[in-house]
Every structure is written in structure tokens, then in C-alpha cells.
Chain A
């Protein structure tokens, strides 16, 4: 017979930030007073960027917490985002859009990207962006949320948003406090490790905090899991020529864009993440090809600049004994801006597999198996635009093309190169549509056609139907309001309603 398990009564989240406060909030909503939840805000570098790029999956997490999206955006200078413009990765002057939505729609049982590849093989310069309402709307400065009518092209929209990281964390913190979470401030002196895990953490002031379960949200340093429990990192950073990053906040009075931009340069790339009234700018670069003075020119920065090494890898165990790493302490997607998605996935995984006071080996093994697979998939996705770069005469990018490929990435590319095939594995955090966008945008032309796409319809019919799709998308985009108007109407404008 099932026993009522011995419940965990004391949970301590070490390290605040977005990972820590998100975890504390989600737990507070779920345990509802049956366990105490404390958050120690330490002075660690949490490894969280100035601007948080939320993919569409963030909406689900916020809904689970009961957070209103417009007020999150309002409080964190948020801007909506339809995807990312990628400039110069395929080669100097080449550009494409990575939408948060599927490209086109299957026709007569053939997948859409295979039909585009068929047209390209026939010498038609098909631009994938024209078949994405997300991409076309972004180009026109428009934004809307998906429409409810499934037959309308407006239902194909998918969106994410960008948030000011500091303000977003503060908002989560206030919400967590309203749910009874206790914040404590103090620098972390040490964590006491025993055979059963962490017994307590000790602050610089001498205060000793015990708990049953510890969440390590201390950023890349991973003070608990990494330092106290000696769980090592498996780093993939040395595979990449790009080893450093710098970021700054640039005020921008002009109207906001509803998409991010990554633009490649000889030394790496610059990524702009628009917020309301500002742009967070981050460069990822090869320090061998960009010295400190050049970093300031490359950004360019007028205000404070934060620099760090580019972390890329995973903790060998995301959960060891009674300590679970959430956020950058568990791993970093390196070149890929996926931190919030990974944080949210880890929190939901923890809720699903939440431990008791004893006897949770199977749950921990399953948590770690999934975390591990997820990071392996992240590694593939992060490397994709780098290994497929078409930039000539630049040593860093030439080296990027030679990055050692994990077996799974090599396998995926062999399928693409042969027949334009795209697959996904278990625990894939990046949707197939994103792989298709990058492969169509900067990948090589597959050696042969897909038989289903080749035989789906004759050339004239295909041209007609693609033309109709492009027109419907353009018309749909033209009906949408501008991003600024949408922000105001939806109550998400900073300084607007609710302030």
C-alpha cells in the first residue's frame, strides 16, 4: 500500500536571480505552505544576461505561476519578439530570419521545406522568410498575438518576448514574497557537505542555514553542487574559437523592434535584444581576434560593460544527493540564447520528480537522464549556425567550421546533406522549425530531392500555391498593428496602464 511519504519541510534556494526566484515561486505555488522556502541572495555572478530572451514556451510557465504577461512586460521594459534575424552567418551580406513559428504549411502531404528545396533546385531563388508570417511581420515592424481562427494565417503566429533581466528578477522576487517566500541577504561563506548531501550553508556573517533540499542557483560557479559536492563540469567551450562575451545596455528612444538581431563579424557576432527604450547588446567573440580596446568599439558601448568567458557545457549531474542545480549552475547553452527555457524545464522537471526525505534514487536518476539528454540536444542546436557558417577569409570562422561535431549533430547533418531530412530526438528543447530555418538559411543544398515533394504536384501548380501563400502572409502582416501600438493596446507599454 502506498505510504504517505515523509515530506520535505525546508527548502533553501541559494542564489537569487531569475533561476532562483522562478524556482522559489513555482515551489511556493505548489507546496502552499507545507514547506518553508527561503532564498539566500548571494553576491555571486549568476551568469544571467542583461536581457532575457523568452521563447514561446515561457508563456506556459508564466501561466502556471499565474503571472499576467502584460504586467511582466510592463514591469521589465519588455518587448515582444517574433524571432531572430541572422545576418552574415551564411556569408557576408547573407541574411535570414529564425522565426518562432513553423515555416509555411505542408502541401499535399509533402513537407514545406522540401517543396522550397525543390524550387531552389530548379533555380528559383526561394527566400524562406516570405513564407513566415513571423518573419514578414517583423520586417514590417508589426506585431500581434496568434488569431483564434485556425483557417486564418494569423493563427500561425508564435511569439516570445525580451525582458530586462534585473527588473524581471525583481518582479519575480516581489511575487515570491507575496507567496510567503523569505528572502535573506548575505555573501555565501561555505556549504557544509556530508555523506548525505548539503547539511547547511554558512553566510559570511556566520549565520548557518539548514534545509532538507537545496537548490543551487548560484550561477556558473555552482557553489553547492560544483564546489561543495564536487560535481564537475563537462565543458565544450574549448571546441569553439569564440571564448568571450561582453554586454551593455544601449538607450534607444526610437520605436522598438519585435525581433532580435544577430550579426556576424570577423571576430564573432553581435546580438541585439530590444527592450522598451533600450537595446541590450551582447558580443560573443574570439579573444584572439579582438583585444580589450576593440571590444568597446565592437559593441559599441557608452555605458557599463560586463565581460565574461563564454560558458558552454553541462554539470555531470544536475542533481546530486539533496542538491539540485537550476539555471546556469546546471549548464550553459553557450552561443545559444536558451537560458530561460532551460531554467523553466528544470523547474518543471523538479516539480514532476519532487523528492521526499528519503528514497528518491529513481526520481533523481530520471531527472539527471533528462537533463543530460536535453543538454546534448542543446549542444547540437548551439553549434549548428557556427559549423555551417559560410564566411570566407576569417580565421575564427574557419575554425568554427572545423568544430568537432557530436555524433548526433553529424548524423543530423548527414540526413540534411543527403535529402533535406530534419529529425528530432527525445528531450529536444529547440523545435524542429528552428532547425529548418537555420538549415534553409545557411545550410548547404541537399544532394537530392525528397521524393514526396518531387511528386506532390506539377511545377505550375506549386508556383501558384506558393504565390498564394506568400500573398496571404503579406496581407496578414499588413493587417497587424505596429509593435508599439500593440504594446500600448495590450497594456504592456512601460509607463502605460498600471504604472
Chain B
């Protein structure tokens, strides 16, 4: 190792972000850096996430986690997508699946052919051509086939898990690999006079913890990145005005489905996340349109069984820290910005930041290119997720004051551009960096009734009768194969049975 090196990493804050960071750095850089994590058992964690997207599997795989053991330890279930209820219009239900709609038929995307057949009278929903949608609506599950020619290889999957248990699971992993944990509060942050870098944090025990690199996983308040380094915050509340949530778990009254559920309500939306041992519930709302008491009452009235704990209230503001990396401090998790969990992106954004930090890991020279590149990549990630979230609020015919205001709000130019292209001809803007790709955009556009006025005219090059037969064949094959699968709940029980 060169002399000018980062030898000590101090992570402030446990929780999902802190322990994911600790585990990943311990795995990647092992004995070359000493990792110290400071968390206070007196401060609660938000327990973000619970619902994830398929990228989490790459994270777990990198750590070398065994899937069954991980699922057992975190009460996890599988997830094939998100069901959105009442979003486009009251009474609606659509699924954003982890997989494409239909196979490619030549150069023209499958959905373009579907649009054309629909114009010619086809009534079948595009959902019938998505294996993960059909499987999850039946409450079934199977791992995707490893054979790329198989119909059931065309989807991916993620998990629902207890974020508190996941953090605890990763804590054991990290501590086994030498991460040192200190239970204390941070009383003060000391900056170096010369360059404003963080020199040390002072704990309420009086101990001073110095380090080379500090990772701020302290949550919304951004103890290091904001309170000490004043990185600044860019608010996106004018686009995403939901600013509070109330959450309460309960027992399940139905078998666990492989779906996260998001239901639009008068002043926001409610989540439902089925785990093995309980169901996570919450109401994300805009405080201009509903009081905390009303929101809590609404949540409780919707629970399928008695709450297992007192409702917890959270406050936040959509936006991003202007600099996610500033000097020798990197913000990961809620300290770096907040986007509501409508598309289960919280843990993904943690994971993306960890990945970029490890691949741009600094040395003692603190060349600003690392910081610049990290911030560029995270800005792209956040803005592209942001646009996708805004689309859900924009494309709706729901009644009510909150929803009227959403329909009428100005949207970012980057989203207006994407919408115009879709409305004209059902085409999706593609990009390399950033999370949501074509199938995701299509699911929400179609699911929320954004109807293109046209489609790719080259679709007409395929004879209608042959195309209809092809479509019918795909639909039947998906249904037949989905019906042959096992129920999700028993699949999970079998996998997680000890000794299995």
C-alpha cells in the first residue's frame, strides 16, 4: 500500500445504511482499512426499505451471503414487483414487474406491436405478456430459470425483509470481519482549521474518534455532511410534496404475496409489505392536505389486523444533499437525500453510493476528482429516480385537492421530454447510468393510462393474423407455466426451513 493512504474509516450511524456500508467495505478492503462504526442504541433507526429491487441480490452475492440463511435471518419473502392500486383512477390495479413485457419481435419493441394490435381491437392487457405479473397475481413464485431460452428466465426478483433484522445480520457479518462498534452518541464534530476536513468526532463518553474517511449514515439530520460541513440541500418538495409518514406493523390475514403494494389515498399513498412474520404498513402523506392524527387514523383503519406496535411518525423533505461527498466525508442513506419509497429505491440508493465509494475509494492525497465523479454519478442516480417518481403523481385522474395539485404542477424538463416522446409514439428514453429502464417506464405509463396517440408505424410490417396468433401463444404459455408453480408462501417456507 502507498504511504498516503486511508487507513481508518469511521461510520457514524448504524441502521441499514451504516451496516451495509460497514459490511461492504470490510468485504472489499478487508484488513487494509480499520472500520469503526459509532451508533447509539438510544437513537432509533428509521428502518428504511423493507421492500427492495433486484439489485440487492448483487449486493448480497458480493458479500457471499447464503440466500436461505439471509431470508431466515431477516424474515424475508420474495418480490416480483409492486402492485399499484387506485393510482391512475380509483379502482385500478397495475403491477410494475421485475421483467420485460413480451419477447422482442424483430427490431420493433414488443409493446409497439401490442399498441398496434390494441388499435386494431385487441383487448388483452399488456400485463398478460409479463411472466412476473401473471405469476405474482396468482400468488406463486419460483426462481427464474437459468436457461436463457426458457420463458421463465425472463424475469428477476427481489425481497421484502425486516430492515432492522437485515442491519443486525450485516452487523454480525461486519463484526466477524473486524469492524469495531461503539455504542455512543456523537457530541461534537471537530474540523481541521487548515482545510475544513473532519479531524475527529467527539463522543458523549468523552472519547475522541479520529479517522481518515468519515461516512455519514446518521439519517435525515446529516450530522457530519450538513451540520458540520454545510453541504447544503436541494429541495424537490415542489415536485414531491409528501413530507411525512406514519408506520405500523400488523399480522397478515392472507398468504404472503410476492408483491409490495402501494395504494393511492387522499393525501398520499399507503404501503403494504408482506414479511414472513408480519406485514409492514405505512401512509406517506403531504401535511398540507391532512393532519397527523387523521393520517394515523386512516392508516389504522386500513390495517387488516390489530397493530403490533404503536404507530411511528416520520418527517422528511424530498431532495438531495448538494454534495454527497464533501472533503473527507461521504453521505450514504438518508443523510444524502430523500426520495419517498414509492418504488422501493431507498436501499438501492444506499447500495449505489457504497458501490461508487468503493470503486472511487480515496487515498490520502484527497484528489478532488474522486469527489467530483462520485457526486456526478449520484446526481444522475437521484435525478433519474426522481423523474420516475414524479411520473406517478403526474399521470393520474384521481379526484381530490391533493391530486388536482399534482396534475397541475410543473414538472422537470427532463421528465416533460420523456413524457412527450411516450405520448407521441409510445417510445421510452433510454440511458446508461440510472436505475429504471424501459419495462419500468412502460409499466407506469400503461398502468396509469398515459395513452400514446401513435405507435411505431413499422409495426404494420408484420401481418396482423400472424401477430395475433403469436400474442395468443405467448399469453397462453405464460399462464400455463405460471399456474404450474408453487404458491409463494410454501416456497418461502420450504426454502427457509432449518436444515433445508
Residues on A facing B (Cβ under 8 Å):
1-5, 7-8, 26, 30-32, 34, 64, 109, 348, 351-356, 359-363, 365-366, 414-415, 418-419, 421, 423-428, 447-452, 454-455
B2 touches A5 (CB 8 A): no
Residues on B facing A (Cβ under 8 Å):
1-2, 5-6, 28-30, 32, 62, 106-109, 115-116, 118-120, 358-363, 365, 367, 369-370, 373, 417, 420-421, 423-427, 429-433, 451-458, 460-462
Assuming the A-B contacts A351-B108, A448-B2, are A5 and B454 also in contact, with contact meaning beta carbons closer than 8 angstroms in the complex?
yes
B28 touches A3 (CB 8 A): no
B420 touches A362 (CB 8 A): yes
B458 touches A30 (CB 8 A): yes
Minimum distance in angstroms from A427 CB to a CB of chain B: 8
Minimum distance in angstroms from B121 CB to a CB of chain A: 11
Minimum distance in angstroms from A449 CB to a CB of chain B: 6
Query: Could you say which of B32, B116, B367, B451 contacts A448, with CB atoms under 8 Å apart?
Result: B367
Which A residues lie within 8 Å of B454 (CB)? 2-3, 5, 356, 359
Query: Could you say which of B373, B420, B431, B456 contacts A415, with CB atoms under 8 Å apart?
Result: B373
Assuming the A-B contacts A351-B107, A447-B367, are A2 and B115 also in contact, with contact meaning beta carbons closer than 8 angstroms in the complex?
yes
A8 touches B457 (CB 8 A): yes
Complex: A356 Cα to B424 Cα, angstroms: 11
Which A residues lie within 8 Å of B458 (CB)? 30-31, 351, 354
Assuming the A-B contacts A34-B460, A423-B373, A455-B30, are A366 and B427 also in contact, with contact meaning beta carbons closer than 8 angstroms in the complex?
yes
Assuming the A-B contacts A3-B454, A451-B29, are A30 and B108 also in contact, with contact meaning beta carbons closer than 8 angstroms in the complex?
yes
Assuming the A-B contacts A362-B425, A426-B433, A428-B432, are A452 and B461 also in contact, with contact meaning beta carbons closer than 8 angstroms in the complex?
no
Query: Could you say which of A4, A34, A359, A425 contacts B424, with CB atoms under 8 Å apart?
Result: A359
Which B residues lie within 8 Å of A449 (CB)? 2, 363
B421 touches A362 (CB 8 A): yes
Minimum distance in angstroms from B481 CB to a CB of chain A: 26
Complex: A447 Cα to B2 Cα, angstroms: 11
Which A residues lie within 8 Å of B429 (CB)? 366
B461 touches A455 (CB 8 A): no
Assuming the A-B contacts A1-B451, A415-B369, A425-B432, are A348 and B461 also in contact, with contact meaning beta carbons closer than 8 angstroms in the complex?
no
Query: Could you say which of A360, A414, A424, A427 contacts B369, with CB atoms under 8 Å apart?
Result: A414
25 pairs of residues in contact across A and B, judged by CB atoms under 8 Å: A2-B452, A2-B455, A7-B457, A31-B461, A64-B107, A351-B108, A353-B427, A354-B456, A356-B454, A356-B457, A359-B453, A359-B454, A360-B425, A362-B424, A363-B421, A366-B421, A418-B367, A421-B373, A423-B373, A449-B2, A450-B361, A451-B361, A451-B362, A452-B358, A455-B32
Assuming the A-B contacts A356-B457, A359-B453, are A448 and B119 also in contact, with contact meaning beta carbons closer than 8 angstroms in the complex?
no
A362 touches B107 (CB 8 A): no
Which A residues lie within 8 Å of B433 (CB)? 425-426
Complex: A423 Cα to B373 Cα, angstroms: 10
In the complex, residue of chain B having the shortest beta-carbon distance to the beta carbon of A350: B458
Q: Which among B29, B109, B461 has the highest number of chain A CB atoms within 10 Å?
A: B461
Minimum distance in angstroms from A436 CB to a CB of chain B: 15
Complex: A30 Cα to B425 Cα, angstroms: 17
Complex: A126 Cα to B426 Cα, angstroms: 51
Q: Which among A2, A356, A427 has the highest number of chain B CB atoms within 10 Å?
A: A2
From DSSP, what is the main secondary structure of chain A's interface residues? loop
Assuming the A-B contacts A348-B107, A452-B29, A455-B32, are A3 and B460 also in contact, with contact meaning beta carbons closer than 8 angstroms in the complex?
no
Assuming the A-B contacts A419-B369, A452-B359, are A363 and B424 also in contact, with contact meaning beta carbons closer than 8 angstroms in the complex?
yes
Beyond the given pairs A361-B424, A426-B431, 20 more chain A to chain B contacts, judged by CB atoms under 8 angstroms and listed by A's residue number, are A2-B426, A5-B455, A5-B457, A109-B28, A348-B107, A351-B458, A352-B109, A354-B458, A363-B425, A365-B417, A415-B369, A418-B369, A419-B370, A426-B430, A451-B5, A451-B32, A451-B362, A452-B28, A452-B358, A454-B1
Minimum distance in angstroms from A491 CB to a CB of chain B: 27
In the complex, residue of chain A having the shortest beta-carbon distance to the beta carbon of B359: A452
B120 touches A352 (CB 8 A): no
A4 touches B453 (CB 8 A): no
In the complex, residue of chain A having the shortest beta-carbon distance to the beta carbon of B463: A32
7 closest cross-chain pairs (CB), A and B: A451-B361, A455-B32, A362-B424, A362-B421, A32-B461, A5-B454, A362-B420
B453 touches A419 (CB 8 A): no
A3 touches B119 (CB 8 A): yes
Minimum distance in angstroms from A269 CB to a CB of chain B: 31
In the complex, residue of chain A having the shortest beta-carbon distance to the beta carbon of B462: A32
Complex: A359 Cα to B425 Cα, angstroms: 9
B461 touches A30 (CB 8 A): yes
A30 touches B107 (CB 8 A): yes
In the complex, residue of chain B having the shortest beta-carbon distance to the beta carbon of A114: B359
Which B residues lie within 8 Å of A452 (CB)? 28-29, 358-359, 361
Minimum distance in angstroms from B411 CB to a CB of chain A: 15
B432 touches A360 (CB 8 A): no
Complex: A4 Cα to B29 Cα, angstroms: 58
Which A residues lie within 8 Å of B430 (CB)? 426
Complex: A345 Cα to B6 Cα, angstroms: 44
A352 touches B119 (CB 8 A): no
Complex: A355 Cα to B421 Cα, angstroms: 12
B363 touches A448 (CB 8 A): yes
Which B residues lie within 8 Å of A426 (CB)? 430-433
Complex: A365 Cα to B365 Cα, angstroms: 44
In the complex, residue of chain B having the shortest beta-carbon distance to the beta carbon of A1: B451
Complex: A7 Cα to B426 Cα, angstroms: 16
Which A residues lie within 8 Å of B426 (CB)? 2
Which B residues lie within 8 Å of A454 (CB)? 1-2, 32
In the complex, residue of chain A having the shortest beta-carbon distance to the beta carbon of B430: A426
Which B residues lie within 8 Å of A421 (CB)? 360, 369, 373
Complex: A5 Cα to B363 Cα, angstroms: 58
In the complex, residue of chain B having the shortest beta-carbon distance to the beta carbon of A361: B424
In the complex, residue of chain A having the shortest beta-carbon distance to the beta carbon of B2: A449
A455 touches B29 (CB 8 A): yes
B421 touches A451 (CB 8 A): no
Complex: A436 Cα to B21 Cα, angstroms: 29
Which A residues lie within 8 Å of B462 (CB)? 32
Complex: A8 Cα to B457 Cα, angstroms: 8
Assuming the A-B contacts A415-B373, A448-B2, A455-B30, are A2 and B451 also in contact, with contact meaning beta carbons closer than 8 angstroms in the complex?
yes
Complex: A8 Cα to B454 Cα, angstroms: 13
Complex: A2 Cα to B453 Cα, angstroms: 5
Which B residues lie within 8 Å of A356 (CB)? 454, 457
B363 touches A451 (CB 8 A): yes
In the complex, residue of chain A having the shortest beta-carbon distance to the beta carbon of B107: A351
Which B residues lie within 8 Å of A427 (CB)? 432
Minimum distance in angstroms from A420 CB to a CB of chain B: 11
In the complex, residue of chain B having the shortest beta-carbon distance to the beta carbon of A414: B369
Assuming the A-B contacts A362-B424, A362-B425, A452-B28, are A352 and B2 also in contact, with contact meaning beta carbons closer than 8 angstroms in the complex?
no
Minimum distance in angstroms from A345 CB to a CB of chain B: 13
Q: Which among A1, A348, A454 has the highest number of chain B CB atoms within 10 Å?
A: A454
Which B residues lie within 8 Å of A361 (CB)? 420, 424
Complex: A447 Cα to B370 Cα, angstroms: 13
Minimum distance in angstroms from B497 CB to a CB of chain A: 33
Minimum distance in angstroms from B427 CB to a CB of chain A: 6
In the complex, residue of chain B having the shortest beta-carbon distance to the beta carbon of A121: B2
Which B residues lie within 8 Å of A414 (CB)? 369
Which A residues lie within 8 Å of B6 (CB)? 451
Which A residues lie within 8 Å of B62 (CB)? 109
Complex: A454 Cα to B361 Cα, angstroms: 11
Which B residues lie within 8 Å of A363 (CB)? 421, 424-425, 427
Complex: A356 Cα to B451 Cα, angstroms: 17
Which B residues lie within 8 Å of A450 (CB)? 361
B432 touches A424 (CB 8 A): yes
Complex: A442 Cα to B272 Cα, angstroms: 56
Complex: A449 Cα to B32 Cα, angstroms: 14
Complex: A64 Cα to B455 Cα, angstroms: 21
Minimum distance in angstroms from B212 CB to a CB of chain A: 12
Complex: A353 Cα to B370 Cα, angstroms: 38
Minimum distance in angstroms from B87 CB to a CB of chain A: 20
Which B residues lie within 8 Å of A351 (CB)? 107-108, 458
Complex: A353 Cα to B429 Cα, angstroms: 11
Complex: A239 Cα to B248 Cα, angstroms: 64
